[in-house]
Amino acid sequence: MTIDTELQTAHGVALLHDPLLNKGTSFTEAERDALGLRGLLPPKVTTLEQQCAKVLSNVRRKATDLDRYTYLISLQERNATLFYRVVMDNMFELMPIIYTPTVGLACQRYALIFRRPQGLFISANDRGRIADLLRNWPHTDVRMIVVTDGERILGLGDLGACGMGIPVGKLSLYTACAGIAPAQCLPVMLDVGTNNKMLRDDPLYIGLSQDRLRGPMYDELVEEFVTAVQDVFPKACLQFEDFGNTNAFRMLRKYEKRVCTFNDDIQGTAGVTLAGLYGSLRITGGKLVDKKFLFQGAGEAGVGICNLIVRALMAEGLSEQAARERCWLVDSHGLVVKSRTDLAEHKLPFAHDHAPVADLLAAVEAIKPTALIGVSGMPATFTEAIVKTMGHFNQRPVIFALSNPTSKAECTAEQAYTWTDGRAIFASGSPFPPFTLNGVTHVSGQGNNSYVFPGVGLGVIASGATHVTDEMFFVAAKTLASLVTESDLASGNVYPDLQRIREVSVKIAAAVAELAFARNLASVPRPRDITELVQSHMYQPLYQDYV
């Protein structure tokens, strides 16, 4: 349903309660008369710009980031245009509030701050009627769905139904960063229970207070959901988010060739990390084929990044086996090597011939990697000894501490720079402030997936792509890396300025759409100007005249 058709039925208080239509005090005198709003609003008519200034002032007066998050989400629930206008104009300041790192705390407190439904809660008790639940959603032209089962929320673990904050936040970024219209976005929580006993015992918990569903019953529920999405929202791209390792890899393999879907933890993280590695090469010199990569963490993110690095290395001429040998993993039991008998299936392609190594420091000493990448969710694992050892082997050691939220980072920016005398090329999943050492100010990059997934989603929507492929994330990574300026690199940042995110998303979307047309994955005619096609799909948060 379009805004114009919604207006035919929205009137008076109902209009003020519709976040996609509400303009608050910006309704004109004529609109107030025609739409039954006279007396329901203060008499002064204000502009969108005046409203933005008021919102920003209120945000800055809040005592904590969680207070700021709650205020902004409440604004999103009542006036989406104003919310997105404020966020887009203040991306650097507000993205850490509406997403990482604050969204992690918001999920932990979600039962207390939940006010109005912003998505669909589908539980294990809804088997047999999931399509009916999807039809309860008020918007029919859904193009992007983010679904989680809450098992692995950021680095915080199993938060059950409280993980709904993640799909809500992700889709906010789809709109703010890439202009996908809010009415085309649907957050979904697939509530299959939780193994978090504290939540199950909490009388205020909002989800099913039971152990997690496993095995065939879990698979049948997911299958019904995926099938229902194809029936109710046939043009939608389905993004799996923050599933546990075992289910994440299984679901991706099961559905990636069948429906338009991807897993951001596996593929999006890979894209943004590869882009950062390309950026680091512009500082260190050399080629990707000359480097070695060691990962702390062998789950979705670690293996996903390795797979994309392998694709990149093969594009530079290495065989698949030689490319895999450049990537090494460390899990909770030490270096992933062939002689181990406890390895999950997704780790096996990166289990190499090597003597067992028990810990990360010993692995760094044995492998002598060019880049150390943290994706374990284990905080403070990049110790001073480890970072200094990286600095001993490399003139410009690459240290990516990518675990979210900030409390889970493997090390801080200050630590990475201090322990390497300012030589580290550092990036993190959540932002760190600039750090000055010996008179030099270092601006670290934020290896946040928001650089990649919004543009990929926009490109998929614009081209009507029937599938999302690993190659799309490869071209997204190359495109993102090409947009890093010399000024960015001079400050130590291997990513573009966050305020340029809409420009970045357009470029990535155009590259993804171009690939979709080239690989016969597009379902719309190829236009003469792909960038123009992409931009035509982008929502702009501006009030329209109703009278």
Q: Which residues contact 46 (CB under 8 A, 6 or more apart)?
A: 24, 25, 26
Euclidean distance between CA atoms 504 and 498, whole angstroms: 9
Cα separations in angstroms, 277 against 284, 308, 357:
10, 12, 25
Euclidean distance between CA atoms 77 and 116, whole angstroms: 7
For residue 146, list its beta bridge partners: 187, 239
Return the closest-CA partner of residue 134 out of 119, 150, 114.
119
DSSP at 319: -
Euclidean distance between CA atoms 412 and 409, whole angstroms: 7
Q: Which residues contact 45 (CB under 8 A, 6 or more apart)?
A: 25, 26, 27, 28, 29
Return the closest-CA partner of residue 492 out of 482, 484, 483.
484
The DSSP H or E segment spanning 127 is: none
For residue 367, the number of C-alpha atoms closer than 13 Å in the C-beta half-sphere is: 34
Selected catalytic residue, list 23, 110, 170, 174: 170
3-state SS assignment for residue 306: helix
Q: Establish whether 170 is a catalytic residue.
A: yes
Do the beta carbons of residue 364 and residue 389 sit within 8 Å? Answer: yes
Q: Position 114: which residue type?
A: F
Kind of pairing between the strands at 120-123 and 185-191:
parallel
Euclidean distance between CA atoms 384 and 32, whole angstroms: 63
Selected catalytic residue, list 69, 84, 99, 417: 99
Which residue intervals of 340-452 are DSSP H helices?
360-367, 384-393, 413-419
Kind of pairing between the strands at 398-401 and 371-374:
parallel
Q: Which residues of 241-253 are buried (b: 16+ CB within 10 A; e: fewer)?
A: bbbbbebbbbbbe
For residue 145, list its beta bridge partners: 186, 238
- Preceding peptide of 101 cis, ω within 30°: yes
What's the distance, CA 365 to chain centroid? 33
**Dihedral angle sign, alpha carbons of residues 416, 417, 421, 422:** positive
Euclidean distance between CA atoms 65 and 96, whole angstroms: 9
What's the 3-state SS for 450-463?
Answer: HHCHHHHHHHHHHH
Euclidean distance between CA atoms 412 and 439, whole angstroms: 19
How many DSSP H helices and E strands does the chain contain? Answer: 25, 14
Phi, psi dihedrals of residue 430, rounded to the nearest 5°: -105, 155
- Catalytic residues, by residue number, are 99, 170
